């Protein structure tokens, strides 16, 4: 397996996904339980409305950017599977981008291959795109932004960041770490940042870790806040976001603004929700929550995000990972598709982890899967059997949060921290091509 070339891995992955899409179509036609994600039907209906010149928001429960419906317009005249192929292609790009990022950090070929396989042949991730979920597009663009940043291409990174925040609001959590990451010591006009290479030497890794802790990210960022790179990134990403949002607001008005953006800040879901806020939402479902209650629910999430950013922003990829895990774990609404947000970054941090798969790594995997399965058991009794198990489901949510928190702490303790960049040793650096 490890001797397979990247092209062969991507080809096998593509064939496998095409097969899943075709089998899924057969299952939808001949079996009671559908393979296709119900959200895909919503996307397709919205795309059909847009193709006929109508608002995609005439389709109830469509709460995404019109860009998504636009991308799926070919569902109406090419094939209803168009979107699934598009999402699965994005899935393959994620695997390719994982390899590109790791190779640029000079990670050995075998570790690069393992990291690709962890994404491309993960049962959770390969079913996401083939069932018709749009998250692989988001994952691919997030990884492309990382590639742009580590290559010093601030303009392109800013463009894609503004676009993806419009497309899917959650990447807004990466704004502050990116600003801290754009350190003027590394991002100089006319020069390309120098990447810190991967090392298998634990002593050297510990030395880098010590240097990183001594120079806390929050201390560095205030020394020169308004640098050229930071201002450029903020102006371009903000402009792209505002242009996209303003354009669609002009076309679809308040309906777009509420459904695509504001709704996600106030969303409540008494079912299909792994969140610890689930029981409170259920008990108060028929009552409009006060502004204070809505804000308080964001407070633990905000505090955890801030602490993680200030500690790990210089190690950008790892910062993205721990941020995303914490954001999902403490969010007011958690559904299974959210897990793919951090799964796409997980393969990028594994080469810097000194945790062995046997036994600690395996225990973490089993703990996470066990806590999720335990929750799904109570969810099944509620959804399909009509049992009054809301309290038990909430306790399962508490257990799931505890499992996520424990695993996150273990991953942090076993990670070899290090800044992505190293300082230029002289002024005669390589010019950006």
- Domain limits for position 111: 1-196+221-267
Gyration radius (Cα) of the chain, Å: 22
Confidence of residue 431 (pLDDT cuts 50, 70, 90): very low
Q: In Å, how far are 281, 283, 342, 349, 351 from 287, measured between CA atoms?
A: 9, 9, 33, 43, 48
Q: What is the mean pLDDT of the chain?
A: 84
pLDDT at 357: 77
Residues 260 and 275 in one domain: no
Q: Tokens 């929550």 appear where?
A: 289
398/388 Cα distance (integer angstroms): 18
Name the helix (H) or strand (E) containing 195.
strand 194-195
Which residues, in sequence order, are bridge partners of residue 353? 415
Q: Are 234 and 295 within one domain? A: no
CA atoms within 13 A on the CB side of 315: 29
Of 251, 267, 283, which residue is a domain's last? 267
* Matching residue, tokens 């502050």: 176
Please tell me whether residues 145 and 182 are part of one structural domain: yes
300-333 pLDDT, tens per residue? 888 999 999 988 988 899 999 999 999 999 988 8
| Residue 204 domain flag | no
pLDDT of residue 204: 53
- Note whether 248 and 169 are same-domain residues: yes
Proportion of the chain above pLDDT 90, given as a percent: 48
Does 177 share its domain with 68? yes
Same domain, 272 and 325: yes
CB 130 within 8 A of CB 88: yes
Give residue 189's pLDDT band: very low, low, confident or very high (50, 70, 90). low
Which of 267, 290, 323 is the last residue in one of the domains? 267
Task: Report the predicted TM-score, pTM, of the whole model to 2 decimal places.
Answer: 0.89
């Amino acid at each position: 397996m490890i001797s397979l070339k990247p092209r062969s891995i991507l080809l096998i992955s593509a064939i496998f996904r095409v097969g899943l899409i075709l089998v899924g179509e057969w299952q939808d036609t001949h079996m009671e339980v559908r393979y296709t994600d119900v959200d895909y039907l919503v996307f397709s209906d919205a795309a059909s409305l847009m193709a006929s010149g109508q608002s995609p928001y005439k389709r109830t429960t469509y709460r995404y950017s019109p860009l998504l419906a636009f991308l799926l317009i070919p569902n109406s005249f090419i094939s209803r599977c168009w979107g699934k192929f598009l999402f699965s292609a994005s899935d393959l790009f994620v695997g390719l981008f994982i390899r590109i990022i790791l190779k640029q950090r000079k990670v050995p070929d075998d570790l690069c291959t393992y990291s690709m396989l962890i994404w491309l042949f993960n049962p959770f991730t390969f079913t996401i795109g083939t069932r018709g979920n749009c998250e692989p597009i988001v994952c691919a663009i997030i990884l492309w932004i990382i590639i742009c940043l580590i290559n010093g291409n601030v303009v392109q990174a800013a463009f894609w960041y503004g676009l993806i925040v419009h497309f899917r609001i959650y990447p807004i959590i990466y704004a502050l770490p990116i600003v801290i990451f754009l350190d003027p010591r590394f991002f100089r006009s006319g020069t390309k940042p120098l990447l810190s290479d991967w090392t298998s030497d634990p002593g050297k890794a510990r030395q880098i870790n010590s240097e990183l802790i001594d120079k806390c990210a929050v201390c560095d960022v205030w020394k020169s806040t308004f640098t050229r790179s930071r201002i450029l990134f903020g102006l371009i990403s903000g402009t792209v976001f505002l242009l996209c949002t303003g354009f669609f607001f002009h076309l679809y008005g308040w309906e777009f603004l509420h459904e695509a953006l504001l709704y996600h800040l106030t969303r409540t879901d008494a079912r299909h929700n792994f969140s610890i806020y689930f029981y409170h939402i259920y008990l108060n479902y028929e009552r409009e929550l006060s502004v204070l209650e809505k804000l308080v629910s964001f407070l633990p999430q905000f505090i955890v995000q801030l602490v993680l950013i200030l500690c790990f922003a210089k190690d950008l990829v790892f910062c993205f990972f721990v941020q995303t895990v914490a954001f999902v774990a403490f969010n007011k609404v958690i559904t299974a598709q959210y897990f793919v947000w951090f799964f796409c970054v997980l393969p990028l941090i594994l080469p810097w982890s000194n945790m062995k798969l046997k036994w600690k790594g395996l225990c973490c995997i089993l703990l996470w899967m066990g806590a999720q399965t335990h929750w799904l058991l109570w969810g099944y009794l509620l959804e399909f059997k009509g049992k009054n198990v809301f309290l038990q489901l909430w306790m399962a949510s508490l257990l799931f949060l505890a499992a996520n928190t424990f695993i996150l702490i273990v991953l942090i303790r076993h990670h070899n921290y290090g800044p992505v960049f190293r300082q230029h040793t002289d002024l005669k650096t390589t010019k950006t091509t």
